[in-house]
Structure formats: structure tokens, C-alpha cells
Amino acid sequence: DCKENVFPALYLYIQVDVQNPNPRTEQKLQALLCVKALAFLRRDSGVLSLGSALLSDRFVFLKSRGLPQLDFLSPMHAPPPLCHTREATRQFLEEINKWTSQHGVSPLSRELAVKFLMARKFDVLRAIELFHSYRETRLKEGIVRLQPQEEPLRSELLSGKFTVLSVRDPSGASIALYTAKLHHPNKTGNHVVLQALFYLLDRAVESFETQRNGLVFIYDMAGSNYTNFELDLSKKILNLLKGAFPARLKKVLIVGAPVWFRVPYNLLSLLLKDKLRERVQMVRMEELRQHLPRDCLPQHLGGLLPLESFSWNQQLLAGQNGRVDPVDELVGIPVEEASIHVPGAEAMRPQELLTHLGRLQRTGIHLEYEEVRKEPPPGTFNCAQSAYNQERNRYGDVLCLDQTRVRLKPRRNERTDYINASFMDGYKQRNAYIGTQGPLEKTYSDFWRMVWEQNVLVIVMTTRTDEGSRRKCGQYWPLDEGGQEVYCHMAVVNQRVDNHTHYNHTTLELHNTETCEQRQVSHFQYLSWPDYGVPTSAVTLIDFLGAVKRQQRKMVTALGLQWAGHPQGPPMVVHCSAGIGRTGTFCALDICLSQLQDVGSLNVCQTVRRMRTQRAFSIQTPDQYYFCYNAILEHAQRQGLLPANQ
């Protein structure tokens, strides 16, 4: 009967926790009795489950013809079968706890694993991305080892600015409320607001019902004015909700937005994916009841619920004395111990990337880049700006962050360890690259010292020495086969030159005259980048990238047991002229394509944003940023991940 009547039948899937009965449970069961649904009830570890026998013996098929629509029984997807949830949990814990083991911290609990998995419907890869994004966001915003009983966090928690309502919406989702008019930027810093928001949302999603049914977020702007508003804070809250928090976000309702808010909102919404944009809505006060019934709304928003803004927060604080956040240990792991480029939130598969590009077009992608460009570098430039080192910079406005700069080993009578070069992470590889400027004549010896000291095997050059009438880079290596140049204690010999259509591959041998050691280094020079703008096609650059990576693998393999570091080898030196434009483009493509190959998805914006925290100002122009998108899509088509005609 089931097989013959699949299409006219109406399926209902309900999972009920009998250990925590509530009126909604009774309501659902009464409805099933009223329509005379055929059901089999099975008790298993304290859980009464109703569902589809086709999926698991823990679920039972419920079928009814002509069942009227019930507002408390909204159509739901079947919950994943028990065997699937167990396997997904096992895979998630296995992957995450490899990571925790590497950092010597306690493994993630099964309870926490389920929270991240439920937020992504037991899609293991997306749940892993969410976990890393959640941890990164907390670390970036200083949300580590929170002390809710201490100031200023305690006052912020009790300010009434943010609370979770005591009722749920008809689908069982929790309702969180943020009251914008209570925020005074001159009194409370953004980081304290975000700490409070994280803390309270974390407590809210400890409820299994919230994990299962999701979260509705009301952003109440009624009665607020421009002095209560911070665009940066609003963006951070939206980014948190859309991809860095383990909860199913059902909708964000922006209520009573002033006229002046429309412009920043339109800018923000342009950067959202279609699916999320549909969930973020601006509504007038009188329209709010179209989304939530009156008994789910506080009185000041036209509902029936007396808002006791302090009660839930006070009760929560009272029960938190001495409580240890199980994620704190993980969040506290310094970023420098692992690569910053791991799968994160809002990753796109090739088709989604194509849709994103088609929706935004060049203008929208340029706007996306502008948002990234406006973010200030997260560090200082003290060493690069010192009087003695300024002459070592090719350009006065392209400097190295103190936090990621490469330090030359000290030598007798040397006044500085500075070179304009920065360590940059690759995909799941710390310090995969050294991004640097094109060497100046006065820094040739420093450049080769760095290559030797960092055990570099491959140098990538994405410019010609001269382009048009401009000097882009010095001739820092012997150009002709058999040629030799000496730079301080480093002798460089040109052993062989292989000329290809779009690049040259030169095999160099380095001789350290102080230690009498010698090593081989491969030098790749890309020749097809135009004097102005970007290449019209990415094919030659991606082929060049492939040749570079094959040579790196070959040379690492040849080292054998001499190399005990990362399996992908020591850093590759990548440079153009300034070391941020073409260099950043090359590295961004490598990171994105590596992630695409690994997990089938990527995030260009996130990659560039992270990259700029290590090599400041990487990706120099909007056209280079737009080129990254097109290059990835070209590659996806060549690999059969997208139809060739799209």
C-alpha cells in the first residue's frame, strides 16, 4: 500500500521527547488520534519516536488521506535515520578530535558534536566548517573564557538589550530579541556586546528543542536613532547568525527600521546568499503578526507577552556559578599553531559560486571587495617603518606586519633582521608561502639568505623584471645557463632553463660558502600577466600553478627523510613587484582550488580576508578580486564540475 500510494499520501514525521512532556506534545498526539493515523509506538532509551519505517526501525510510517493543514504540524522533512545520525556523529568526532589531539586538548564531547551536526542537518562537512567558523569568530572577537559574573559582561547581560523570550513560535523555535535603542556605542564596546550575545545564545541552544527547531531572531529598531546604530556591529551580528553559530536560523526580522537604515541594509543584503537573504526581512510593527502570533510577541511589539527582560538572564546567571564552558579550551588554542585557511562558513560549491557571480555581476563583486579592503590590518608595522629599514621597502606604502614578518637570522655586524617578506598560510598548511616584494639590488643577499634559512625549494615570480617603462623587480638570479652570481656568502648557479609558452622554469643551485653546503632551487617565472589589469583567461595561470605544485611535490619527495616538516614541504617564495597584488592572486587561487579539491566548496571572500591578516593589503585591486572568481569557475568547467556552456 505504501509503494502504491506514495504521491497522494501525506507524511508526517514527529519526534517526541517523553522525558520532557509539554502541551505541544499532547497537542500533536491528539491531532494524530483525531485523524485516525495508523502508528506504531516504540520506546527506545526513553525516546518515543514517530516516523518512517522506510528509514529506520526506530521510525514508523504515518499515513493519512485528506488530512487538513494544522498550524502546529507544519510540513517537515523526515529526520535522518538513526543509523545515519550515529555515523555522522562518529565521522564528525573522528575528524574534530584528530584536530584536538594535535593541539593536546580534551576531545569534543558527543553532546557538543550533535549540536553542530543538528545545526547543519547532519551534513558532516558543513558541520565541520561551522565548528571552525564558530571557533575562529570567538577567537577573533575575544570571546574566550567568559566570566559572566564579572564586569563589564555582567552589566551587559542584565541591560535588557538582549534576551530569549519565555515562549516558542508555533514550530517550536526559540525567539531571541535584540533591542537596538538600548545600545549606546559611547558606553559599551562592540566586543562586550558580542560577548553577551554569544554567551546567551550558547545557553539558549543547550536546549535540545532549540537545536531541533531552530531560532527566530528579532532585531528591534523601534524607537532607536542613529546614535544607537553601528554598521560594524550590525554586520558582525549578521555574520555570526548566518554562518558562525550552531543553530538553525529560521528567520531574522528587522522591526521598525528607520528610513536611514535602508541604505546600509541594502548594502548588507547584497552580500548575502539567496537562501539567507530570504530569511532576513525588514517588517513594520503592524506586519510582525504575519510572522509570529501575538502570544509569541512582547507587548511593546504588539503582542500579549509581558516582557521581563531581566528574568531569563538573571535566572541564567544564577545557575552559572563555577560553570566551565566546554568549548573554551578549544577556542583558546592560539591561531598560530594551525593554518587560518580551513573550511569555514558560507562555503560555496561551483554552481552556487556561479549563481553568486551572476547575481552580483562585476559591480557587486567590486562592492564585496570594497568591504574587505576597508578592514584595517590587524597588527602593527613598527619594524618596517623604522628609519633604518625604510630603504629596504620597494614601496613606502607596502609594509610587513610585525606579527607575520620573516626574520633573518642574526649575523655579526648586522643592524637589522628585516626583509619585506611575510609568512602566509596555505590550505590546511601553516606558513605555506612567503609573500615578498621583488628584490631590490641592495636586498639581493637578504633574499637569498631567506631562501636558504627557510629551506625554500621553489620560487614563484609573477612579473617580468621590466614592464613597459617601469622597473618591477631586480635581476636577482643568473639569467643564462651556466651563469653564476655571488651574493654575500651565497653563490647562485644557473644549471638549466626550460622555456615554456607562458613561463620559464630555471633550475638553480645554491652554494653556501660559509658551510660548504649546496642545495637545488626551482625558479618559476610567469610571463603572461599583462602590463595593466589582469589576464583575459585564467587557463595559463592555473596551468602555471599546476606546474609549480608538481615541482614542489617532486622536490619534497626527493628530500625523503631529510624533510620532517609538513608533508607539502617548506614555504614557497611568491613575489611580484610589491608582493601583494599578483602574489595575493596566486596564493588565493591556490588556497581556493585546494579547498575545492578537498571538500568540494570554497569561499573567495573569506580566503582573501584571512590572507590579508598575514600579508597586509593582499589582492590589490577589485579586478584582481573579480579575476579570482572567474579563474575558479574556468577551472571548475575544465574539471567537469560545471557545464561548459555556463
Instruction: Report residue 102 as a C-alpha cell.
Output: 594535535
For residues 541 and 534, what is the distance between their CA atoms, to the nearest angstrom?
11
CA distance 49 to 123: 22
Q: Which residue has the cell 517550536?
A: 172
Q: Count the residues in the chain.
A: 646
Distance CA 548, CA 569 (A): 13
Tell me the pairing of strands 162-168 and 63-64. unpaired
| 383 belongs to the catalytic site | no
Q: Based on C-alpha coordinates, what's the Rg of the chain?
A: 29
Going 143 to 148 to 150 to 154, the CA torsion angle's sign is positive
Amino acid identity for residue 432 in this structure: A
Copy the grid coordinates of residue 373.
579592503
Instruction: Please state, in angstroms and rounded to a whole number, the distance separating the CA atoms of residues 84 and 54.
Output: 13
| Catalytic-role residue among 296, 473, 576, 628 | 576
How are strands ordered across the β-sheet holding 174-179?
162-168, 174-179, 215-220, 249-255, 280-283
DSSP state string for 143-193: --S--TTSTTHHHHHTSSSEEEEEEE-TTS-EEEEEEGGG--TTTS-HHHH
**Do 612 and 605 form a contact (C-beta atoms < 8 A)?**
no
Specify the residue for cell string 542613529.
226
Q: Give the angle subtended at the CA of 21 by the CAs of 18 and 22, to the nearest 5°.
A: 150
Q: How far apart are the first and last CA of the chain?
A: 43
Q: What angle, 0 to 180 degrees and rounded to 10, lies between the N-to-C axes of helices 231-243 and 124-140? A: 150
Q: How far is CA 372 from CA 75, 607, 608, in A?
A: 40, 11, 8
Angle at CA of residue 235, ends 111 and 424, nearest 5°: 75
Q: Beta-carbon neighbour count of residue 41 at 10 Å?
A: 11
| Residue the block writes with cell 611535490 | 553
CA distance 453 to 447: 10
For 414, the 3-state DSSP assignment is: coil
Among the listed residues 96, 624, 66, 195, the one whose alpha carbon sits nearest the alpha carbon of residue 203: 195
User: What Å distances lie between residue 318 and 153, 315, 323, CA to CA?
Assistant: 14, 5, 11
Which has the closest alpha carbon to 490: 522, 523, 445, 437?
A: 445
Q: Read off the amino acid at residue 31.
A: A
Location of C-alpha cell 578549544? 330
Q: Which three cell numbers stand for residue 644?
A: 561548459
Supply 2's cell numbers: 505504501
Locus of grid cell 613606502 = 396
Catalytic residues: 576
